[in-house]
Amino acid sequence: MTDDAPVLLHTDGHVRRITLNRPRVLNALDHASVRALDAALVAAEYDDTVTAVVVSGAGTRGLCAGGDIRALHDDARAGGAASLDFWRDEYRLNARIHRYRKPYVAYMDGIVMGGGVGISAHGSVRIVTERSRVAMPETAIGFVPDVGGTYLLSRAPGGLGTHLALTGRSVGAADALLCGLADHHVRTENLPALTAALAGCTTPADVTRTVRDHATVPEAGELDAARDWIDSCYTADTVGGVVDRLRDHGAPAAKETAETLLTLSPTALAVTLAAVRRARAARSLEEALDQDFRVSTRAFAHPDFVEGVRARIVDKDYAPRWAPARTEDVRETDVAGYFAPLGARELGLAPGRA
């Protein structure tokens, strides 16, 4: 495998190391990356010499910044469908990671966003560091949390998951642990020693014990102290109701959050709120991924996605023109349409569920 391959493979003892290898774009996922990662996991799962896989990102900035947003933007702008094919394979990869039969150790070091959460937080051994910044930031570009992010966030304590889904804010190690997005904290400088120790593990129990031996307590996070206003404000039935409660609560951080929400796509916010609440009732990750595919397909075709990427990433004027521009103008019937079955285009990961 060449050094410019999208995914690099290396075997250390009983560990198969899988490295996302697009550091110039912070290891953003494209279709080639997804296919290569999936193939590597299949090979390792059926290799009796491999006890565990360790997934990390090349470079120094992070594991993965998510999908290749510019490519998705260009495809949407051109009226293409390549992005839907990409998501179909990406979501299947997320499901494979979730049900992987061997320890799947994800180094969530540095930036881990969007699709980066999908290829890490569904794993069985999720490690954050003091450098971790974990987020599902899709609403900032007029899109919605996907890759099973709605499933993960719907299971966070109280209103924390809804808060993170709507605002798209990033969290550090302690808050990632609190929200159930990670399992252990290991300092960045100690990851090489952990990798070397994992190479000698011959059973899954050895892997668990070795990770725990290297884990430490992270510095305190921010969310636990904010539970009062977060838990009370995010129980509202609508985005408008959430904003009103945030404005009226009295906590300065709550008011600031309300102002942040008012800058984001009203449609994306309404669909995201509905998606997280529907994901709570999902009986499996696969069922939630089927929902995410329906929603992503519709969000991809909505003008707010192209406009959001233009404003934040392409032109960087940070002045998106949302359609509609106001939360109160988003119709319930339009939101419901995002969740309608796709017929023959369904992802179909959860058998028997339309």
The 3-state DSSP class for residue 140 equals helix
Which backbone phi and psi does 94 adopt, to 5 degrees? -55, -40
Task: Count the Cβ atoms, other than its own, within 10 Å of residue 329.
Answer: 12
Rounded (to 5) percent helix, strand, coil in the chain: 50, 10, 35
Return d(Cα 311, Cα 116) in angstroms, integer: 22
Could you report how far apart the first and last alpha carbons of the chain are, in Å?
41
- Between CA 99 and CA 106 the distance in angstroms is 14
Catalytic (active-site) positions: 67, 115, 138, 146
Two tokens, residue 176: 């990632």
106, 162 contact by CB (below 8 A): no
Q: CA-CA distance, 95 to 121, in Å (whole number)? A: 11
Alpha carbon distances (Å) from 243 to 65, 142, 236, 267, 334:
28, 18, 9, 14, 20
Under 8 Å between Cβ of 58 and 113: no
Tokens at 245, concatenated: 């409660």
Alpha helices in 139-226 (DSSP H): 149-154, 160-167, 173-178, 191-198, 204-214
| Kind of pairing between the strands at 52-57 and 15-20 | parallel
Contact in structure between 304 and 270 (CB atoms under 8 Å): no
The first and second tokens of residue 260, run together, are: 């942040």
Between the alpha carbon of residue 309 and those of residues 70, 74, 138, 140, 334, the distances in Å are 8, 10, 10, 8, 22
Phi-psi region of 203 (alpha: psi -120 to 50; beta: other; left: phi over 0): beta
